[in-house]
């Protein structure tokens, strides 16, 4: 059962009306981290390689009450992403699909594309372009 209040890991939200999808990650900051040690931080995947930390943009905290966007992003699309993460049932009713982290059953790499998550096989292993 997915809940942003307790989930650490990745979530891809697929908006079936627009065809857009976004991948988010919630992780706990290392105790020795310079920024917010011990807090849970949510970030957006902004590049093709999710193993590269430079492709993740942090934008809020995952607090016990839900996602709270950093104040500097209050008037950006990150605020909308926070609302979508906090209100799964409501956005599912509007046609969004929430896909919780999964890995390719052939090679174990992380899957981020909606099609890959549904089929359980990544584009390379499935021979897709």
Q: Based on CB atoms, which residue is closest to Zn ion, 42 or 104?
A: 104
Give the footprint of Zn ion on this chain (CB under 5 A): 104, 106-107, 122, 125
Q: Which two tokens stand for residue 15?
A: 């908006």
**In DSSP terms, which residues pair with 58 in a beta bridge?**
43
Shortest distance in whole angstroms from residue 13 CB to Zn ion: 22
Shortest distance in whole angstroms from residue 126 CB to Zn ion: 8
Distance between CA 90 and CA 54 in Å, rounded? 31
Q: Based on CB atoms, which residue is closest to Zn ion, 79 or 125?
A: 125
Distance between CA 126 and CA 116 in Å, rounded? 9
Q: Based on CB atoms, which residue is closest to Zn ion, 84 or 111?
A: 111
């Amino acid at each position: 059962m997915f809940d942003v209040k307790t989930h650490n890991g990745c979530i891809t939200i697929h908006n079936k009306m627009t065809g857009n999808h976004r991948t988010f990650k919630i992780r706990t900051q290392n105790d020795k981290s310079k920024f917010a040690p011990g807090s849970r931080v949510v970030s957006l995947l902004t590049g093709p390689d999710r193993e590269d930390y430079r492709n993740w943009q942090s934008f809020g905290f995952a607090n016990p009450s839900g996602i709270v966007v950093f104040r500097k992003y209050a008037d950006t699309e990150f605020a909308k992403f926070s609302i979508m993460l906090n209100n799964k049932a409501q956005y599912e009713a509007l046609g969004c699909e929430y896909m919780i982290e999964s890995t390719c059953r052939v090679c174990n790499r992380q899957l981020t594309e909606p099609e890959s998550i549904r089929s359980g096989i990544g584009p390379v292993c499935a021979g897709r372009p």
